[in-house]
Chains A and B, each alone.
Chain A
């Protein structure tokens, strides 16, 4: 408990608020997944998994590289599930076919997470580079699939424009815009090695020295500090807005389908 309190005190307030909202969003979406149609289960379980992927913020509780890597893989599973759900919804709008069972969604999710853990367990403990690579892959997938989801949501909205639930898809559109900024800004920082994790790596390995010897400019953050700062602000606030939008959207959806 003490560690938890100490940990919470160590988290910047904006991440703490973000964590609270992700907790809220996770709970609402999980409860929502229980009482609704199969297609909603994929979507809501996916959003619930974002909560698990945000636990990396409590990095003293989950400080091992393996657990950190696992939370990032969980994030990847989350967006894949969400995308699968929206794709299914789009297929329903075009063919009016509903297939599958809720239990299958739950079991597949658990299986994927277990396999991910096994994958990490049977391989050497991930280095800081590996953890950062996994995080970058996660962000790349999030950005790509978020763009795809925005297009799917647009198409779903036009297919069910006059249905009561169509407004919820506008909310999902807002959610994905926030997520695009959130994950996109972090990917941007990672691609140019302006992210905090790279900073830690560079500090620990003293890479500047290596770069000097090899005449490679490893850190140009001094020159682009303004845009780096903007990207970090976008990452912080878009993440917070995404968490709030997900909570709000699921609460709205719950009201619409009650």
Chain B
């Protein structure tokens, strides 16, 4: 995404995670804001251009892939805000004319795109811009640098190049870049600022619904992840308890014989399942029951030995 002039910054580096898209859009719309709001995410950049509080254009440019516009861009922007977890928002106030040019740059009609400068007569092109009283933006760029000239009714409004913060009145950098034999140009035009104000994307895009849907989707996703996490935890806990139960069963059978398998099963059922093994009081009751049954099968000495082994396992498990 290319750089845009910053004009008069209203907010910079606001954490997106704390913002609601609905609030941002309504605040800018209700405040008759002119300029743009830029949202920077790790994988995409979104821009909302306002002309006197009317949403003129919406764009979302991913780091890789094609940019999207309008409703689609607004939906993706809402999703990015809800899901990214990081990101910042900057809001810059611009003049109406410059905002119109920014709109042209982002969503205007492309008269030239990636046109090699060496192959066209730049003077004739500039005369055409003047004659046709074009509103828009001429962008000259190489792989390393870029510069922009904004026009209103065929007259240059100002010059902007990479590294600068605002509009220059002299064409220095643009002229230098135009002399580069590898330079290319894009020419975007748009309707006048007044005409632009007659359209408001907010009339056709329900930002509140888009935001609510994005939040709901995110919540559903979070719930699903939480469920999966809980399931995973539960499975781990079940597996750990099953392992412990099997170890205790092995020790008990080792001492009392195969009849011990049934005794363990019965006593675990009576104790409400193997979860009792992790609770001190219930596991003591379980041990007492095992001891009572073992008294019918093995010697007191062996019972003490067996209890010691099982208790060690239980203490270890509880720790």
Contact = CB atoms under 8 A, between A and B. Distances in A.
A and B physically associate:
yes
A258 interface: yes
Interface residues of A, number: 22
A163 B299 contact: no
A258 B299 contact: yes
B162 interface: no
Given A160-B257, A162-B258, A164-B257, A98 B297 contact: no
B229 interface: no
Contact of A96 (B258, B262, B300): B262
A164 B266 contact: no
B258 A37 contact: no
A163 B257 contact: yes
Interface stretch (A51-59, A68-76, A87-95, A131-139): A87-95
A89 B266 CA distance: 16
Task: Please indicate which of the listed interface residues A39, A40, A92, A95 has the most CB atoms of chain B within 10 Å of its own CB.
Answer: A92
B259 A163 contact: yes
Contact size class for B?
Answer: 10 to 19
A92 B296 contact: yes
Nearest to B269: A96
A60 interface: no
Contacts of B258: 161-162
B259 A164 contact: no
A165 B267 CA distance: 21
B266 A95 contact: yes
Contacts of A163: 256-257, 259, 297-298
Chief secondary structure at chain A's binding surface: loop
Contact of B259 (A36, A40, A160, A256): A160
Given A164-B302, A258-B301, A98 B296 contact: yes
B296 A162 contact: no
A64 B304 CA distance: 51
B255 to A, nearest CB: 8
B78 to A, nearest CB: 62
Given A96-B262, A96-B267, A159-B259, A165 B300 contact: no
Interface in A126-157: none
A98 B292 CA distance: 8
Contacts of A39: 296
Interface of B: 256-259, 262-263, 266-267, 292-293, 295-302
22 contacts: A36-B295, A37-B295, A37-B296, A39-B296, A93-B259, A96-B267, A98-B292, A98-B296, A159-B259, A163-B256, A163-B259, A163-B297, A164-B257, A164-B297, A165-B296, A165-B298, A256-B298, A256-B299, A257-B295, A257-B299, A258-B300, A258-B301
Q: Which 5 A-B pairs have the closest CB atoms?
A: A163-B257, A162-B257, A96-B266, A37-B295, A96-B263
